Structure 1
């Protein structure tokens, strides 16, 4: 923060900032000084606000100097300053921050940090206070403790990375209701009297409460909301763990009480296999699964289990064949009856190729059985989570670092109603809540189809490669967008030699490990969905350090596009107009890496080529590799992580990390995966 005693700030007052409004202030900040923009937030509701500072006349362009942005709350009569959030990107980057503001007085401080251009002129800027755009693309519940739920909306409030959440508020624009979906919570008992859960409980309508008669003749007397399998009664023990898990799935949303679940409305079936104990029996767990199947559950959440070191499912099968068979049969029966199973991967920091986590390990044998690892508030795998290539997906489970970094949810009335807990036990119900909304959106989806959808829609997080399948990280928004029309299918495409490639055919790198759809899907939408991609070369404005693209660099890129054209279903056309899907340029080699930006005229790629204006020397191997890998990444390929320990080489994929072999460009596997990615849209 600027030392205000040494550097006097200029003050500007803009009055009240209202919901669904934008305010823009144009001004200038002197060298090593600051401008304070004072504003108020009125009313009882929280204000969700994007704040931007960018060069005047150049929206979201670079400043000539280093500018910082702070949002500060003024407290008390003495108006002491409390920093809410700041954006201080290095260099001349424009600054932005997203924050949640309750009623109060605030300062948006734009400060001059460093002179970069050698001139001491004042830096002109626009400060934009935007409480409109977020609300246009998101839905936020009115639950007063919602700001504590970083797993639903992460603005850095717990010390984590802004945006490292499930994309719930974006997803809720499509759907919040899963009132026709029954989620069985096999766990400790749920507090059925909790005010944030009592309207979202499953009700056995065939059973009359407290009459001592098994009205529906299902073998369980007075089982109105579920069953306690330890005491053999309909009364669940009001357990902290079970209540917390239930709230993550389906605490009542937008009811002006407490917190929100992933699904605002759903039916929670409480199946207590612990009572007051810390362990469960195999018999009770199997009976609870049978109960869920027979009484209409659509989803089973199991935030329970244990890890056996130096073991595998195969060893378990041989050591306990009868128990293995019982579990396999009951889980398979659930899937066959349309019940999706979600299980916590375990909290023993154990890798799945040398340790056995039960029951989650059955996800490797049964389609529609989803195992879940835990990430923290910065989307890194947690220090406790079990991990490995057989685990289906990761979701927020919280950190043990602080109370704020835990996942915040419901607790029993006797335990203060709300609080935080960490664990894969918290990550699993995040996924179960997502499955509930997906199933509400498309009831025709089978358990295996739901698993395929979540994996297809998942964000492929590079830092999670090796910790879960393909680096899969739950993306609720994308899952809901794709739910209605999603049809898992076998995709057919051409191999390099013209023969047909069928999804599942053995590739030198598995499809899920190599595919990356984010940029490709954007290109697909921009190109008119016809797989014809237009491109053009440009020497201007492809980056802040644009330079001339030499003839030999153009020739290399053109030939590379021709190869992709000849070996995939994509077609490349050089555009004659300024607008195109790809804008290809060069920048100063000192930039060090690709400059990628999306403009109204297309997606701009600018490479830091070695200076070679007259083509006196051949393009370096490093430049060839960089261009090839970056284009592959744009068209649907994922850079293979170093953590693969060079499992894949350049003979397998151009996207491999390989410092020992010569770079040869795209392989048949690369072309096949590009085909499959584009056929999946």
Structure 2
């Protein structure tokens, strides 16, 4: 059983920092220890793992540093904890040799083996020590002890001091000397340790078959076995939330069985409708739509007919009930399901438009769509495109409903057929999640298309039986109770097969579902979990978090760095990780941050006035947090200046921290709007919040206070991205959106198909974040350009991306 997969390296309040030396070994050749108050806690060094903290002036690529020291980086597993700190593991002899050979390297501040306690907790050490002095210990006594032990104070607050040992110093030994001095309440290294999240394993009877949620390498259908951890980490995510009944997932599909034993408690109830009075009580145009609507038969019974179990299958994956000792569990088992029934056959496009509009207009937070058309044209049916756009922009009171579409099952990779993303999964609408399928081994499913339009993947079955012998559907979900549906099987090669064939209400479940149809509601359910924690997320927030927290699995070409997230044509940004996605929302909820510009109260003329800004943090979590924080000032010219930097900052549970800072704006500084950006970085996620002020010519005092007191930090994009313009085709204007992960010089230009420059929309330094610009169809002289196709190109350093747009007059 895995407790958590997402490793959070936290600078905990049992804090320790060390470099490897023989000082403590001389004190006791057989024992390493630290003090927890007056108690000695024994530590055992691990020979196959170590921590390197680089000197601040020697920040380097670890691969380069290892090669310069005659070590092959390929011999080790290197994990970057922050820009100066690395965890290295590998063969014990090679790691020990590396540790000994680099202990005097001038680029290294400290290095130590990773230690382990008797309880099995691994603890890393850098250069840092946490010390809280006893009451009555004077500042002079503290300073004398600091000098005698060769440490410097990195940060000091009301509660404790964070110290740093000298180059090649031993933080473990030095921390013990502080404790043994009799002056400290506690003193220990600033340990790097793994914070565990406690997973929830449900008691649903067939949960052990749901490898997409929890893959332990178990035996699956047809004798296949999974790969450990090739899953979405559902039990870990459930440690945060199992969903909220206030969040509604619309299953736009073949219908949902309202009285299903694993769904009935989670069926959405229209709060504005009185059952069976034959009146449209809520005036939404649908009479007695208590539990959704049937758009095939135009009535209020959205249940499936015949063997049409596809909608049930999707509903079960998204939000089947949990811990009821039967059946399966959905990824969001406490959320509600809104049944919106379609018919998969020949019928008018208007029905699909009505279904989409019904969902978002009646409060659906997430729309799951495991359907499409056999066409790769992204503009196939404009009426459907506009309905989707309404959902993403007007749904949830303007925050936008999250819309998920299955990419298609059009590929057959063993036959060299890459397939295509079908309409409407290929629409050019920001934030729509196009969902591909991975398999039980974290590889691209054989039928899942390869395309640059893929955003995210989720686990489903590996291949269809007519593609690869011995393969077939293997996703377990709900079925129409009794004989109808998929259990027993109705088609070869599973005709007459009962799967499952035993268990409580076993005829109400099936083990033969799959495709991107199964992947899509899994992604929709993860989005519902996120909104359950924070219903104020926009649909674009949800898209950004899901894509930036995905696991880069499989042997695919993901290019990128910490700030520039890679994307592959096989699995998009990767296989979705529910735990990672929910975790970042959870952190945003618990870590409140505000950046304020108080109203200035002094009166000019003053040659130089300081700008005062306040920073406020509140840790509402029940665990300690540690992060790096810094503030950047962006001038009206676009120049960016770092004016505050704190490399390591911690908050205890419930702790509130505030500080007032100031900087100088001289009278001759450029007039215009200045932006302050507060960044928060825990080594995994980069978040920010902003405040702005305006400056008049010749004046140094801020004129306008545009403070930002946010209760949630916004996530920065981790990839440079140029989105498809919208609308497209357009007349008279269109919006082009682009994402910039780091402040820097960019250009965004319009060209005709002959490669001639038509107009420059953006040129210069822009801040990190999501941006948009409007092109009004004019050239650089302001003249209207002719109808036709145009190219727009975004360039930033080595990044170049071009897209096509069409102007219709």
Q: Alpha-carbon deviations, 1:282-333, whole Å to 9, x = none?
A: 221111011112211111110001232xx5326x4xxxxxx32x12221111
**Aligned counterpart, 2:441:** 378
State the alpha-carbon separation in 1 of the partners of residues 575 and 327 from structure 2. Answer: 27
TM-score, normalised to structure 2, is 0.43
3-state DSSP of counterpart to 1:142: coil
Residue 456 of structure 1: how far off its partner (Å): 1.7
Residue 211 of structure 1: how far off its partner (Å): 3.4
**Aligned counterpart, 1:432:** 524
Q: Is the 8 A contact 1:189 1:271 kept in 2?
A: yes
**Aligned counterpart, 2:793:** none
**Aligned counterpart, 2:430:** 367
Residues 221 and 483 (structure 1), Cα distance of their counterparts in 2 relative to 1, 3 Å cut: same
Q: Is the 8 A contact 1:390 1:469 kept in 2?
A: no
3-state DSSP of counterpart to 2:244: strand
Specify which structure has the higher proportion of strand. 2
**Aligned counterpart, 1:287:** 354
State the alpha-carbon separation in 2 of the partners of residues 571 and 403 from structure 1. Answer: 58
Mean alpha-carbon deviation: is it higher for 238-247 or for 207-216? Answer: 207-216
Q: How does 1:91-106 map to 2 (within 5 A)?
A: none
Check if 1:221 corresponds to 2:287: yes
Q: How does 1:203-242 map to 2 (within 5 A)?
A: 203-235=269-301, 236-238=303-305, 239-242=308-311
Check if 1:408 corresponds to 2:471: no
Q: How does 1:74-223 map to 2 (within 5 A)?
A: 137-157=198-218, 158=220, 159-223=225-289
Check if 1:443 corresponds to 2:500: no
**Aligned counterpart, 2:314:** 245
Residues 242 and 160 (structure 1), Cα distance of their counterparts in 2 relative to 1, 3 Å cut: same
**Aligned counterpart, 1:417:** 508
Aligned-pair RMSD on alpha carbons?
5.0
3-state DSSP of counterpart to 1:360: coil
Q: Is the 8 A contact 1:459 1:474 kept in 2?
A: yes
TM-score, normalised to structure 1, is 0.50
- Of residues 327, 338, 341, the one that matches 2:403 is 341
**Aligned counterpart, 1:305:** 372
Q: Is the 8 A contact 1:307 1:355 kept in 2?
A: no
3-state DSSP of counterpart to 1:243: helix
**Aligned counterpart, 1:105:** none
Residues 213 and 152 (structure 1), Cα distance of their counterparts in 2 relative to 1, 3 Å cut: same
Q: Is the 8 A contact 1:227 1:271 kept in 2?
A: yes
State the alpha-carbon separation in 2 of the partners of residues 353 and 156 from structure 1. Answer: 28
Check if 1:472 corresponds to 2:574: yes
Residues 527 and 251 (structure 1), Cα distance of their counterparts in 2 relative to 1, 3 Å cut: closer
3-state DSSP of counterpart to 2:335: strand
**Aligned counterpart, 1:598:** none
State the alpha-carbon separation in 1 of the partners of residues 246 and 327 from structure 2. Answer: 23
State the alpha-carbon separation in 1 of the partners of residues 472 and 322 from structure 2. Answer: 21
State the alpha-carbon separation in 1 of the partners of residues 352 and 411 from structure 2. Answer: 24
Unaligned runs of 5+ in 1: 1-16, 20-56, 63-90, 94-127, 317-322, 488-524, 532-566, 574-601, 603-635, 639-671
Q: Is the 8 A contact 1:192 1:201 kept in 2?
A: yes
Q: Alpha-carbon deviations, 1:336-377, whole Å to 9, x = none?
A: 223111110000018999945111011x3x122111000001
**Aligned counterpart, 1:121:** none
Q: Is the 8 A contact 2:240 2:586 kept in 1?
A: no
Structure 1: 4+ residue segments shifted above 4 A: 57-62, 133-136, 277-280, 350-356, 401-405, 484-487, 525-531, 567-573
Q: Is the 8 A contact 2:408 2:421 kept in 1?
A: no
Q: Is the 8 A contact 1:407 1:426 kept in 2?
A: yes
Residues 472 and 356 (structure 1), Cα distance of their counterparts in 2 relative to 1, 3 Å cut: closer
Larger Rg: 2
Specify which structure has the higher proportion of helix. 1
State the alpha-carbon separation in 2 of the partners of residues 572 and 216 from structure 1. Answer: 54
Residues 205 and 267 (structure 1), Cα distance of their counterparts in 2 relative to 1, 3 Å cut: same
State the alpha-carbon separation in 1 of the partners of residues 539 and 518 from structure 2. Answer: 21
Aligned length: 402
Q: Is the 8 A contact 1:393 1:468 kept in 2?
A: no
Q: Alpha-carbon deviations, 1:259-290, whole Å to 9, x = none?
A: 1101111110111111xx54554221111011
